[in-house]
Amino acid sequence: MLKKIHKAIDAQYPEMVEIRRYLHQYPELSFQEYKTAKYIAEFYEELGIPYKTNVGGNGVVATLKGGKAGKTVALRADFDGLPIQDEKDVPYKSKVEGVMHACGHDGHTTTLLTLAKVMKNYQEELPGTIVFLHQPAEEYAPGGAKPMIEDGALEGVDAVFGTHLWATTPLGVLQTSKDVFMAGADRFTITVQGKGGHGAYPHETKDAIVIGSQLVSQLQQIVSRRIDPLETAVLTIGQFEAGSAFNVIADTATLVGTVRYLEPEIQDIVISEMEKIIEGVCVSNDVTYAFDYKKGYPPLKNHSEEAELVLKASDNIEEIHTREEVIPVMGGEDFAYYTMERPGAYFFTGANKDGNPYPHHHPKFDFDERALPIAAKTLINAYFAYQEK
């Protein structure tokens, strides 16, 4: 049966490309994906597959109940874009100013829609039930996964699988992990309130830029000097905003950054050490401060048995020539919430386009569309493998 399904997926390739390129031209930001959600819902309406809209926000959940008894397995795709100007010179370049699909979510959505169309034709032969989870707002915490789960998206679901088209991995390579696969991702903001003044009279001021610079330097010592070298953590300052003129000493500085970690105890250490350093630097400089730390997505931890199913399920997909168990990546993913609730696994489908050097979230990001049917085949293979578990 899988051979027939694979052939049917391949036959849909021209339409997959068409869908993906349409979605790529009309991206929408996290929590604003109204037109995309409508497009997805109308697709299921035409297929005659029951669906629900407004699940946990703009989420769409469709359910295909097979003609044979079996387990209920959810397959997930996200569909939000990013606030990035598309700089690619391609016919399907984003038509929305300042917004683009720079992470492959248009491809994820295409994969799931096509799989639903194909499997509708095999409904009577299908064991169990496929739940198609179309999730908004993956890119921006608090994300879309948690609200969807709270709204009942996983009710009755036995297991959940998902994939990410990974544009830095070669086509034909599948990657996953049997444990922690992606990092926890937090965000913080530090505001230093000093005392501004004339650039010629620094002794009369409390220079927020100098103090902020001390924080940038000392916060890096948390990872280099206060975390066990055998553990993993990242602390990045991504924004430093202060000052208004070349000859004015700034009274306020704002630092915004991210923390990445694999284990909860490391997260605790980083937060504690940040509080000590920020307080120490600011007290010693006689200024006040505000420290706002927001815990984001937890680490994405695969279940060992389900990850093994993905690896074995890819054996009979001829386009996949390499299967790898990899070390965790430090990017974050709110798929983590699904595997906290149900057995499941997340995996990368290699999608590098002709050696394209541009990574995810880059203005010239793109992926090889030949990865679309590979992703669909791997997802449905994992589905059937779980049925036989």
Catalytic residues: 80, 138
Asked whether 388 and 308 are in contact (CB, 8 A), the reply is no
The answer to whether the beta carbons of residues 148 and 77 sit under 8 Å apart is no
For 276-289, the DSSP string reads HHHHHHHHHTT-EE
Nearest of 325, 303, 12 to residue 162 by alpha carbon: 303
Half-sphere exposure of 209 (CA within 13 A, CB side): 14
Helix (H, G, I), strand (E, B) or coil at 277: helix
The distance from CA 171 to its chain's CA centroid, rounded to whole angstroms, is 20
Q: Which residues pair with 125 in a beta bridge?
A: none
- Can you name the residues that pair with 127 across neighbouring β-strands? 68
The answer for residues whose C-beta is within 8 angstroms of residue 201's C-beta and 6 or more apart is none
The DSSP element (H or E) to which 240 belongs, if any, is: strand 233-242
Please report, to the nearest 10 degrees, the dihedral formed by the alpha carbons of residues 309, 314, 316, 317 taken in order.
150
Cis preceding linkage at 142, omega within 30: yes
How far is it, in rounded angstroms, from Cα 354 to Cα 366? 10
Contact indicator for 126, 29 with CB cutoff of 8 Å: no
164 carries a ligand binding annotation: yes
| Listed residue (188, 192, 190, 206) closest to 255, CA to CA | 190
> How far is Cα of residue 338 from the mean position of the Cα atoms in its chain?
13
Rg for the chain, CA atoms, rounded: 23
Specify whether the CB–CB gap between 349 and 165 falls below 8 A: yes
Q: How far apart are CA 88 and CA 91, in angstroms?
A: 9
Q: Is 45 annotated as a binding residue?
A: no
CA distances from 246 to 28, 198, 200 (A): 38, 10, 11
203 is in an annotated binding site: no
Q: How many CB atoms lie within 10 A of CB 348?
A: 23
- The verdict on whether residue 139 carries a ligand-binding annotation is yes
- Binding positions for Mn(2+): 103, 105, 139, 164, 361
Binding residues: 103, 105, 139, 164, 361
